[in-house]
A and B are shown apart, each in its own frame.
Chain A
Amino acid sequence: MTLSPKTPGIAAGRLGAEVLAENFGDLHPPLERHEAHVAADRCYFCHDAPCMTACPTSIDIPLFIRQIATGTPEAAARTILQQNILGGMCARVCPTETLCEEACVRETAEGKPVEIGRLQRYATDTLMAKNDHPFTRAAPTGKRIAVVGAGPAGLSAAHRLAMKGHDVVLYDARPKPGGLNEFGIASYKAPENFAQAEVDWLLQIGGITVETGQKLGAGLTLEGLTADYDAVFLAIGLAGVNALRCDGEDREGVEDAVDFIATLRQSDDLSTLPVGRDVVVIGGGMTAVDAAVQSKLLGAENVTIAYRRDREAMGASDFEKDLAASKGVRLLTDVRPVAVHGNGKAVEIELEYTKTEDGALVGTGETFRLKADQVFKAIGQTLEGAPEGLEITRGKITVSGPGRTTLPGVWAGGDCALGGEDLTVTAVAEGRDAAEDIHATLMG
């Protein structure tokens, strides 16, 4: 029997292989050489450029764009990578429309910013296609540093520390490194296994030993690490997922969006990946959009994002919201889940309209039901498995300055640490800056 988007329940193979391949192809196709030159020519080479200020890693954007314009994308890549070693991934996943491209003076002038993200990708892709790693290690310092978590913050810190001449052991709980780059973002943002290719390229610096399947609290302890190493950098991310706290949350078909995204990213054959006919995603951030759009692209007939506040308050950027809408995802705002109904399996979700009263969100009492054979929870992640002894503020590891925790010799960065937006690019900046601080501290 041939399946289709209208096949009831949760099923795999709703769409043919060709359609799936097209759906999960590159969201922003790479620029050709000539396109890159034309795009680069639009940059005004601003003085003290606003785009540079807006970039969490402070990449010298006007300089790298000028290097592209003059036919030296490899030099452009070096300019990018010395500030942001994951410049390749950031070129793909950064919400540029709220960062550099929002600040671009051509956005002010014409509403059409210089395509900084795509130009960055052009430069970094050119360099990586040559498998050229432009950095070398300083003389060995004899210092050993443990980095826990091989996501963007951990990778960034590990690379900078290795570059400074330290020996780094990079631990990760998952079977392979990459963190959210590998497990946590939509497939079409980094197709063709880019995350692993980038990690492999990054590790060419040398001096970094990757230890996978090593989890803090399950084998690894902070006491052990601080005893064995000269410094520890924690970049453990947010491993926990918030619960819906509504009736029927335990019914079959109610899943964590992050698990769905991770499974999808690791799938070799998307036609074997099951998805519901009627999918409802609860939440309003990037994870919600990634889960919703990918459900649609896998062949779900109806996909709805249900968010408790208004569209403006959603964590996802305007671009992401528009992307979801353009793929046929319905954005339903000012609603919250009351119950998931069904007999064992989810069949319907009951939602209640909300309103804000005296600054607090309250239900209006008016409810309605949507068909839902699959419900994804995307209402935020939480710090899980943080070692004892560290001060925690608002659910994150307390840090001061460049990632210093309340324990001597222990630094933290990325999503698990206080401060900054939970973005790849922010994590890279925090990892880099903590590494510089570790280096300065150790070398006096």
Chain B
Amino acid sequence: MADLTTDFLGIKSPNPFWLASAPPTDKEYNVRRAFEAGWGGVVWKTLGSEGPPVVNVNGPRYGAIWGADRRLLGLNNIELITDRDLFTNLEEITRVKKDYPDRALIVSIMVPCDEESWKAILPLVEETGADGIELNFGCPHGMAERGMGSAVGQVPEYIQMVTEWCKKYYSKPVIVKLTPNITDIRNPARAAFAGGADAVSLINTINSITSVNLDAMSPEPMIDGKGTHGGYCGPAVKPIAMNMVAEIARDPQTHGLPISGIGGVTTWRDAAEFMALGAGNVQVCTAAMTYGFKVVQEMISGLSQWMDEKGYTATSDFIGKAVPNVTDWQYLNLNYVTKAQISQDDCIKCGRCYAACEDTSHQAIAMSADRTFTVKDEECVACNLCVNVCPVENCITMVEMAQGAVDPRTGREVGDYANWTTHPNNPSANLAAE
């Protein structure tokens, strides 16, 4: 069985599955149970400054979207940072870390954007013996209105400044958690890197309104007839999160900056995908909130089985392995030609490929009177929509045309690799090769 031990910033954990800073990691009781259930690490729910704790709403804190069988696809929340006393949290962190020395325990922090506030809290956190800190620059609601959370994360200069303070007053690893509510994720990552961050973690939640109550005419979750945007998370955000992770992983300016991947990780496969895109580990919240702590057991067994099947003996064997294959559109091979092929043995004759192609794509599928569906190679641009709408897995496949074969659509031979940069239709084609 593969060894899932992960070394992230020198912090060892028995597996790469950490619980993200969120309600599941709000107190000693939960965190102990999470460790007993098998979680490799925990990022303690965000601590604020000494003094009266923040307050939360007393109505619903979560909104959701569901599939037909009430499968939770996306969740949003308007909960703030911990609403428990700072010293209670610190005492609990100290006790838990002492009892679970083999697990990663990171403390998430969010205090006002001035040096004094950070200088005050960091020594207290250092005393707990926790393995590192995560700077919450991502929380998009409530705290942002007070100049914290994503209000900091949206200004790269602030990120760099606060990161520098943290490196100055704290000796262990500093992870900067990034907000996705920006235009280009690379800028805040570069700022964290410049400030000396040991790693970035992303994504935090996405500004969102999950639904509108059409009777009350208010966004959900609705508090006394009103709603506000919340932070969106869960399976629905994974594609957005993975793109942002990959953008940072392949950015030359932040090359080598460790990444903790967050955003809709629900299964072992999600974790493997994030890690292949450069994440050194993953953080999970919604899956645990949906299914409970036990869900980590599937993640552990699944990742382990997959690693065995692939011959990977350590997570470092595959971390970042997909990064070199993430490229810009302009470098994609325009001479790679495929054609959809429908397996008549597998086809159940639903006609979805036909409707999709005929109504919305390239009119490249023919339908006979007896409901036989066939691809017209002379029309097929290989867009893959038919594959995506087909309810039968692998019924429609994209078959590559060999080099030298003539594409019936264009009448041209399939040639060698060539991309847009040298394409004759590109007015700014790079002709340096000539």
**A residues 67-86 touching B (CB-CB < 8 Å):** 69
Query: What total of chain B residues lie within 8 Å of the partner, measured CB to CB?
Result: 15
Q: Are B352 and A47 within 8 A (Cβ)?
A: yes
* Known contacts A38-B68, A41-B69, A109-B392: A50-B371 contact under CB 8 Å: yes
Other A-B contacts than A37-B68, A38-B68, A50-B371, 20 sampled, CB-CB below 8 A, are A34-B70, A38-B69, A41-B67, A41-B69, A44-B350, A44-B352, A47-B351, A47-B352, A47-B354, A47-B367, A48-B351, A48-B371, A49-B351, A50-B349, A69-B68, A105-B348, A105-B349, A105-B350, A108-B349, A109-B348
Q: Are A47 and B68 in contact (CB under 8 A)?
A: no
Question: What are the residues of chain A within 8 A of B348 when measuring CB–CB?
Answer: 105-106, 108-109
- B240 shortest CB reach to chain A, Å: 25
Interface residue ranges, B against A (CB under 8 Å): 67-70, 348-352, 354-355, 367, 371, 391-392
Quote the shortest CB–CB distance from A118 to chain B (angstroms): 16
The 8 A CB mask of A51-74 against B (1 = contact, 0 = none) is 000000000000000000100000
User: Closest approach, in angstroms, between the C-beta of B397 and any C-beta of chain A?
Assistant: 17
Is B352's CB under 8 angstroms from A45's CB?
A: yes
A177 CB to closest chain B CB (Å) equals 39
Residues of A within 8 A of B68 (CB): 37-38, 40-41, 69
Provide the residues of chain A in CB contact with B352, threshold 8 Å.
Answer: 44-47
For residue B69, which residues in chain A have a CB less than 8 angstroms away from its CB?
37-38, 41
CB-CB nearest in chain A for B69: A38
7 contacts between A and B (CB under 8 A): A41-B68, A46-B352, A47-B350, A48-B371, A105-B350, A106-B348, A109-B391
B351 and A46 contact, CB distance less than 8 A: yes
Give the residues in chain A near B355, CB-CB below 8 Å.
Answer: 47
| A-B contacts, CB under 8 A, total | 40
- Interface residues of B: mostly helix, strand, loop or mixed? loop
* Nearest CB of B to A41, in Å: 3
The interface size bin for chain A is: 10 to 19
Residues of B within 8 A of A109 (CB): 348, 391-392
Q: Which residues of chain A from 109 to 129 have any CB-CB distance to chain B below 8 Å in the complex?
A: 109
With A and B bound together, what is the CA distance between A44 and B355 in angstroms? 12
Considering the chains assembled together, what is the distance between the CA atoms of A106 and B69 in angstroms? 18
Among A38, A108, A109, chain B packs the most CB atoms within 10 A around the CB of A109
- Bound-state CA distance A340–B150 (Å) is 90
Q: Which residues of A (16-46) have their CB < 8 Å from a CB of B? A: 34, 37-38, 40-41, 44-46
Q: For residue A50, which residues in chain B have a CB less than 8 angstroms away from its CB? A: 349, 371
> Which residue from chain A places its CB closest to the CB of B346 in the assembled complex?
A109
**Closest chain B residue, CB of each to CB of A103:** B349
A106 to B348 alpha-carbon distance, docked (Å): 8
Give A106 to B70 CA distance when docked, in angstroms.
22
A35 to chain B, nearest CB (A): 10
CB-CB nearest 3 A-B residue pairs: A47-B351, A41-B68, A47-B355
Measured CB to CB, the nearest residue on chain A to B389 is A44
Bound-complex Cα distance A375 to B291 (A): 59
**Cα-based distance from A391 to B100 in the complex (angstroms):** 93
Report B-chain residues with C-beta under 8 Å of the C-beta of A48.
351, 367, 371
CA distance A37 to B69 in the complex (A): 7
**Residue on A with the closest CB to B373?**
A47
Which residue from A38, A40, A46 sits with its C-beta under 8 Å from B350?
A46
Q: Which residues of B contact A34 (CB under 8 A)?
A: 70
